[in-house]
Amino acid sequence: MASVSIVLRKTPNKEGKHNLYLRIIKDRKISQTSIGHSILLKDWDGAKQIVKKSHPNSARLNNLIAKKVAEATDKLVEMEANNTDTSAKAIKKAVTASKDRTFFKQAELYLNQLKATGKFNQRSADEPRVKKFKTFLKNEDINFSEISPGLLKNFKAYLIGTFGITERTAVNHLIVIRTIYNRAIADGITDRKNYPFGKGKTVIKFPDSLKIGLNAEEVKLLEELDLPSGENHARNLWLVSFYFAGMRISDVLRLKWSDFQNDRLYYTMGKNLKAGSLKVPDKVLEILKQYPQGSNAHDLVFFDLAKMPDLSKLYEVQSYIKSRVRSCNDYLKIVANKMGLTKALSMHIARHTFAQISADRIPANVLQKLYRHTDIKTTMQYQSNFMTKMTDDALEAVINL
């Protein structure tokens, strides 16, 4: 007969805490495996094999201990019923396999997959969010069933109180946790019955944010400035983005001469892989004259990515794009000072500028095609940040008595 229990390792770790181990004894042979948590010696009741109430997370840890013991016992019964090897070593191996079902094990798989699929931007944003969640949990792993609405509420308060981040940034951290949780459900790692998100639980809702672009007069001023080479190049990239309906800078930097055919631009959007074409404005043609065809590697129009040996390595390319955008934004700050702007000027502002100037001028269904949105609701939601004429007129109608 095998026995399953929880024991405290006698030797403390570097933090002066003692690791909790699941101990399995079968035929007088002992096998142990860590449950991923450690506590101070004074917080452990060895006789009852529970964490004392003096520990701040005693309830959660005791629930975890009970679950670990139950899982190991169930695994033992299952193995005996199937007439498989039920030695202490075999039971440990079966129990250890289930450890990969914890949150941070699945988070590691998620981040590795982002890297494998070349999603540098998303991985570089999500990895520190996962690390903050682990820091909040004192670097200990956690089972999906332990992630409750109360825990997420405390984590959000911790983020805002400790790091002084915005509400929107805090919500982005919760979205990463939700993404990993959803993947775990889809892969059969955990059960949906413990899902902590949704109505009556943790609701993911972004706060409204201000999106401010340049007005038409400011764009004209930007077009007419006489600038040195670095600032001029950054200005050119910004204008090309604006002229092509707020094209993302990552797509601008990857433009090739072969994308231009019959006075039209044919390209596939990097974010959603949607293909389409746009007429090439005369203003773009004037900018392209500054970049002779054949002067850059890979048939690229602009030189920013020309030094990359292989553009098919998406992760490395996205990483380099990020550094190039940072450099361009530094130049644009200088340009903004020369223009006397009191608002931000960055590559992403080109997208906001097109949306702002197009508001109340272009029908939503046409904007949907320009933006390549799958759902017109996405277009309407985005444009709502810039459509002010109706509310302005309504305000004027009331106050101009």
Instruction: Establish if 249 belongs to a structural domain.
Output: yes
Same domain assignment for residues 240 and 338: yes
pLDDT of res. 27: 78
Domain boundary among 98, 131, 150: 98
pLDDT tens figures, 33-67: 888 788 999 999 988 889 999 998 888 888 888 88
Reading the chain (401 residues) residue by residue, the pLDDT tens digits are 678 889 998 888 888 899 888 888 877 788 888 887 889 999 999 888 899 999 988 888 888 888 888 877 877 776 666 666 656 666 666 555 555 678 999 999 999 999 988 889 899 999 999 999 999 999 988 889 889 999 999 999 999 999 999 999 999 999 999 999 999 998 888 888 889 999 999 999 877 666 788 999 999 999 999 999 999 999 999 999 999 988 999 999 999 999 999 999 998 877 667 788 889 999 999 999 999 998 899 999 999 999 999 998 888 999 999 999 999 999 999 999 999 999 989 999 998 898 888 876 777 677 677 767 677 776 666 666 656 666 666 667 677 76
Same domain assignment for residues 128 and 262: no
Q: Cα separations (Å) of 197 from 44, 141, 148, 207, 353?
A: 33, 20, 9, 17, 35
Distance between the two ends of the chain, CA-based, in angstroms? 91
* Domain limits for position 92: 3-98
pLDDT of res. 98: 54
pLDDT of res. 117: 85
Maximal C-alpha separation, the chain: 94
Number of domains in the chain: 3
Same domain assignment for residues 123 and 247: no
Q: Cα separations (Å) of 17 from 20, 40, 50, 56, 59?
A: 10, 5, 15, 14, 18
Same domain assignment for residues 35 and 139: no
Instruction: Establish if 392 belongs to a structural domain.
Output: no
pLDDT tens figures, 283-322: 999 999 999 998 899 999 999 999 999 998 888 999 999 9
Instruction: Establish if 29 belongs to a structural domain.
Output: yes
pLDDT of res. 387: 62
- State how far the Cα of 75 lies from the Cα of 68, in Å rounded to an integer: 10
Same domain assignment for residues 121 and 59: no
Instruction: Establish if 210 belongs to a structural domain.
Output: no
Instruction: Establish if 387 belongs to a structural domain.
Output: no
Counts of helices then strands in the chain (DSSP H, E): 15, 8
Each residue of 161-192: b (16+ CB within 10 Å) or e?
A: eeeebeeeebbbbbebbbebbebbeeeebbee
pLDDT of res. 141: 87
Same domain assignment for residues 60 and 139: no
Same domain assignment for residues 179 and 227: no
Instruction: Establish if 395 belongs to a structural domain.
Output: no
Q: Cα separations (Å) of 102 from 50, 152, 192, 204?
A: 21, 16, 15, 22
pLDDT of res. 286: 95
pLDDT of res. 95: 59
> What is the distance of C-alpha 71 from the center of its chain?
33
Instruction: Establish if 374 belongs to a structural domain.
Output: no
Instruction: Establish if 39 belongs to a structural domain.
Output: yes
> What is the distance of C-alpha 269 from the center of its chain?
19
pLDDT of res. 337: 96
pLDDT of res. 275: 82
Same domain assignment for residues 326 and 354: yes
Domain boundary among 66, 98, 130: 98
Domain boundary among 81, 98, 115: 98
Strand order in the sheet with 3-8: 3-8, 18-26, 29-39
Residue 131 sits in a domain of what CATH number? Answer: 1.10.150
Same domain assignment for residues 350 and 220: yes
- State how far the Cα of 3 lies from the Cα of 352, in Å rounded to an integer: 64
Same domain assignment for residues 162 and 294: no
Same domain assignment for residues 89 and 110: no
Nearest alpha carbon to residue 69 among 115, 31, 135, 22: 22
- State how far the Cα of 360 lies from the Cα of 364, in Å rounded to an integer: 9
Query: Can you give the pTM of this predicted structure?
Result: 0.62
pLDDT of res. 388: 64
Same domain assignment for residues 56 and 22: yes
Residue 250 sits in a domain of what CATH number? Answer: 1.10.443.10
